[in-house]
Structure 1
Amino acid sequence: MSNATRILLALVIGLALGIFAAGEVPAIGTQIAYWLDIVGSLWLNGLRMTVVPLVVALLITGIVKSAEAARAGPMAARTVLWIVCIMLLSAIMGAVLTPALLSLWPMPAESAAALRSALTTVPAVAEQPPMRDFLVALVPTNPVSAAANDSILPLMIFTLTFAFAITRLTHEPRAQMAGFFSALAEAMIIVIEWVLKLAPIGVFALAFVVGARSGFAALGAVAHYIVTVSIVGIIVGAFAYPIAVLAGKVGFGDFARRIAPVQAFAVSTQSSLASLPLMLKKSEELGVRETTAGLVLPMAVALLRATGPAMNLAVALYVANWFGVKLDAFDYGVAIFIAALTSMGAVSLPGSVSFVTSIAPICLALGIPIEPLALLIAVETLPDIFRTTGNVQMDVALATVIEAPEKEKANAIS
C-alpha cells in the first residue's frame, strides 16, 4: 500500500471515528480530541518547518536550470519562453476560475463554519498593513529575518535577485552555488519525506479532531473541495488542445487520438516522468521530429507543470474562502506571481512534497491559514490525477508548437 493510500485511509478512519465518538461518547471523544489535537499540531509543525528552506533552494535551482537551458540554443530558448508563459497563464486562470466556481457553487455555510471551529490551531486572520508599509517591506533589510518571520514575498524577491546574480557568475562558481542549493533541496526533501512517513498518524489525529468537532459537515466539505480543484485542473489542461491546433498546426482529431494513450498512462502512473517515453513516441506520430521532441519534452518534464499554478492557487483561494480571508486585486497579483514561480521550482518533486512547497508560500504571503493543508494533502491523490493528465497533454502540445516553425522552414525550402 502506498503512503498516499495510507494517508487517505487515515483521513477517512479519523473522520469516521471522530464523528462516532462525538455522537456516542461525547465526553470521552472530547478528551481524545484534546490529545490528538496536540499530536496533529506537532506533525503539522514538522511539515511547516521545511517550507522556507526548501522553497528558497528550489527557486534558486529552478532559475539556474532555466537559464542554462535557455543558453542551449534558439529552440531551447523558445521552449523556456513558452514554459514561462504557460505557467503564468495557468496562474491567471486559477485566479479567475476558482472565485467563479465558488460563486456558482459555494461551500455550504454550515460546513465552513463547523470546520473553522474544528481547526482550533488556526490563528485569527491578521489585518493587512497599510499599503506604504507593505510596499516598503517588499525589499527586506534582513533576508534571514524575513525567513524567520515567514515573510515569504520579501524573501522570494531577495531569492530571485540572488538567483539571477548566480546565473551571471562564471561557470565554476555558478556550478558550485547551484550544486550547494541542489544538495540543500535534496536534503530538505529527505526531511519532508520523513515527516510525510508520519502523515497517516498526523492526518488521523487532525481528522479525528475535525470529525469530533464538526460532524458530518466535514465529509461534504472535503467532497466539495475535491470537485472544485479538479474542475480547475480539467479546464486548464484542456487548453492543450487549442494550443496544439492553433500554435502547433496539428489537427484536433489527430491530437486527441495520439494523446489518449498518454493520458491513460498518466492516470495509471500519476507521473509525467514515467510518461516521457510514450510522449516521445506520440509526438513523433504527430509530426514532431525526433531531435525536437528529444529536446523539448525532457525540458517540459523538468520545468513545466501546466496545471500546477492554477490548481495550487485554487487550493489557496479555497482555503481563503473557507476562512473568510478577504483578498483584493493586489493580493491576486501577488498570488499569481508566487503560484507561477513556486510551481516551476517544484516540478520534479513528488506530488505530496510539491503540494506543501507550492501552496504554503501563497498562503503565507496572503495571510491565509496553512493548517488546513495538512488535511487537504490526504485527498490530493484524486485531484492529482487531473494534474498529471493535464501536464502530459500540455507537454506534447508544447512539442508541436516548437516544431511548427521548423515545419514551415522546411516547407519554404522545398
Structure 2
Amino acid sequence: MQLHWQILIALVLAIFAGLLSGADAAIFGIRFYSVYEFFGTLFLNALKMLIVPLIISSIIVGIMGIGSGEDLGRLGSKTLSYYAITSFLAIMTGLILVNLTVPGISDGQPLKDVIGLADVPQAVTDKVEGKGAGDVVAVFLRMVPPNIVTAAAQGQMLGLIFFSLLFGFFATKLTGAKAEQMQNFWIAVLDVMMSMTNWVMKFAPIGVFALVAKVVAVSGVGVFSSLAIFFFTVVAALAVHFLGTMYLILRYVAKVNPILHYKAMSAALLTAFSTSSSSATLPLTMECVEEKAGVSNRVTSFTLPLGATVNMDGTALYECVGAMFIAQAYGLDLTLTTQFTIVLVALVTSIGVAGIPSASLVAISIILGAIGLPLEGIGLILAVDRVLDMCRTAVNVFSDSVAAVVIGKLEGEKNILQG
C-alpha cells in the first residue's frame, strides 16, 4: 500500500481513537493519551533530527550546482518574488472572507461579550509578552548568527540557511581536485540524509496516528460550537488558496497538470497536517518534489529549505483572519487603513515565523500590538488554534512545493510532472 494511503487510514483511525479514549481513559494504569504523546513525540524527534544536516547538505549541493553568482541571483529573485506574491494573495483571500462572514459578531453583539474572554495560559503569555512591530527587525538579525553551532542547536533556520548559502557560494570558487572532493562529499551527505528520511517515513503512519489522536483526545469536538464561524472562515479561506490560487498558478504559470502535483504531494501534505510543522515535514517534502514531481535537486535544494522558513501562505492568511476576528470580537470597526496595516504586518511577520506548531500566536500578538489591541484577545482563538495550525501547515508546505515546480519550469526543466 502506498504511503499516503497508509497515512490517511491512520489519520481516520486516530480521530475515532481520540474520541473514544479521551484524555483520561487508561488500561493497566497507563493512559492512552500518554501512549499517543510518547509515539507522537518520538516520530517528531526523528524528523527534527534530520533537519539540520539535510538543510545544510541540500543547500550547499544546490548552490554548487547552480554555479555562478549571476545564476544564483536569478534563481533567488524568482523564488522570493513567488513567495511575496503568493503570501499577499493568501492574506487578501483571508481578508475578503473575514469581512464577508464577520465571525467576531454574534447576534449583533461582539463575541467577547457573548462567550467571555478565555484566560490566556501562562506559556502563551510568556511567548507573546513584549512583542511588537520592532521585532520584525530581529528577523534580519537572525540571518547572521554569531555561532552557527548554537543556531543549529536552537533550530534558528534562517541563520543556518544564510550560512549554507554563503558556504555553497564560496565553495564554487574552489578549483581542481579540491572542488571535486568538496562536491562529492556534500552529495554523499545529501544521499545519506535522503536514505535516512525514507527509513523514518516508514514509521509515518504510526506517528500520524499518535499525533492526531492526541489532539482529538484533548480537544474533542465541543470546542468548535462557539467559534464555528471563525473556524470555517479560516478553513474556507485556506481551501480557496489551496484549491483555487495554487491550482491556477500550477495550470497557468507553471503550465503543468495540477492534479498530478496534488497526487505527488499527498504523503507530505498528510504528514504536514499531522505534525503541524513545515520544518519537520521538509525531508518528506523534498522527497516528494524530487522523486514524484520530477523537479531537479538544483532547484529543490534552494527553494524548499528557504520556503520552509520564509514562505508561510497559510500562516499569513491565518494571522490576518485571526487579528480581524479579534478586532471584531472587541467591537471595533476597522478602517481600510488599519486593515492595510494588518495585511502589511501579516506579510512581514509570516516571513520570520518559525516552522513549528503554534508559532503564529507570536505573530498575531505583533499584529495586535501594531493596531492597538490587547494581547488577551489571543484567548479567543486558543480553543481551535491547534486544529487550524494543522490545516495551515499543510497549505504552507504545498505552497513551497508549488514554488519548486514554478521555478523549475521557469528555469527550463522538461521532466516536471510528466505523469
Q: TM-score range by the shorter chain?
A: 0.5 to 0.7
Corresponding residue SS for 1:11: helix
Counterpart for residue 199 of structure 1: 204
Counterpart code for 1:89: S
Quick check: 1:148 aligned with 2:153?
Answer: yes
The sequence identity of aligned pairs, in percent, is 21
Deviation at 1:63, TM superposition (A): 1.2
In structure 2, relative to structure 1, the CA distance for the partners of 1:225 and 1:67 (3 Å cut) is farther
Counterpart Cα distance in 2 of 1:152 and 1:387: 15
Counterpart for residue 88 of structure 2: 96
Is the 8 Å Cα contact of residues 62 and 299 (structure 2) preserved in structure 1?
no
Counterpart for residue 313 of structure 2: 314
In structure 2, relative to structure 1, the CA distance for the partners of 1:387 and 1:15 (3 Å cut) is same
Counterpart for residue 177 of structure 2: 172
Report the TM-score, using the length of structure 1 for normalisation.
0.58
Residues 322-401 of structure 1: matches in 2 within 5 Å? 332-333=347-348, 336=351, 360=355, 376=390, 399=412
Counterpart Cα distance in 2 of 1:136 and 1:97: 27
In the alignment, which of 235, 238, 242 is matched to residue 245 of structure 2? 235
Deviation at 1:147, TM superposition (A): 0.9
In the alignment, which of 192, 198, 214 is matched to residue 209 of structure 1? 214
In structure 2, relative to structure 1, the CA distance for the partners of 1:272 and 1:49 (3 Å cut) is closer
Residues 14-413 of structure 1: matches in 2 within 5 Å? 14-22=14-22, 27-28=25-26, 31-67=31-67, 83-105=75-97, 125=127, 138-216=143-221, 225=235, 228=238, 231-232=241-242, 234-236=244-246, 238-239=248-249, 262-263=257-258, 309=307, 313-317=312-316, 332-333=347-348, 336=351, 360=355, 376=390, 399=412
In structure 2, relative to structure 1, the CA distance for the partners of 1:322 and 1:197 (3 Å cut) is farther
In structure 2, relative to structure 1, the CA distance for the partners of 1:226 and 1:38 (3 Å cut) is farther
Deviation at 1:154, TM superposition (A): 2.2
Deviation at 1:20, TM superposition (A): 2.9
Q: What are structure 2's unaligned runs of at least 5 residues?
A: 105-110, 112-117, 266-287, 324-340, 364-384, 414-419
Counterpart for residue 252 of structure 1: none
Counterpart code for 1:125: K
Q: What are structure 1's unaligned runs of at least 5 residues?
A: 72-76, 111-115, 245-258, 278-296, 340-358, 401-414
Is the 8 Å Cα contact of residues 64 and 169 (structure 2) preserved in structure 1?
yes
Counterpart Cα distance in 1 of 2:80 and 2:357: 15
Counterpart for residue 382 of structure 2: none
Is the 8 Å Cα contact of residues 61 and 298 (structure 2) preserved in structure 1?
no
Is the 8 Å Cα contact of residues 152 and 160 (structure 2) preserved in structure 1?
yes
Counterpart Cα distance in 2 of 1:3 and 1:38: 22
Corresponding residue SS for 1:49: helix
In structure 2, relative to structure 1, the CA distance for the partners of 1:189 and 1:304 (3 Å cut) is closer
In structure 2, relative to structure 1, the CA distance for the partners of 1:43 and 1:268 (3 Å cut) is closer
Counterpart code for 1:215: G
In structure 2, relative to structure 1, the CA distance for the partners of 1:391 and 1:35 (3 Å cut) is closer
In structure 2, relative to structure 1, the CA distance for the partners of 1:11 and 1:263 (3 Å cut) is closer
Counterpart code for 2:211: L
Deviation at 1:56, TM superposition (A): 1.4
Deviation at 1:173, TM superposition (A): 1.9
Is the 8 Å Cα contact of residues 150 and 364 (structure 1) preserved in structure 2?
no
Cα deviation 1:300-325 (Å, max 9, x = unaligned): 9767979x95995224446767998x
Counterpart Cα distance in 1 of 2:78 and 2:357: 19
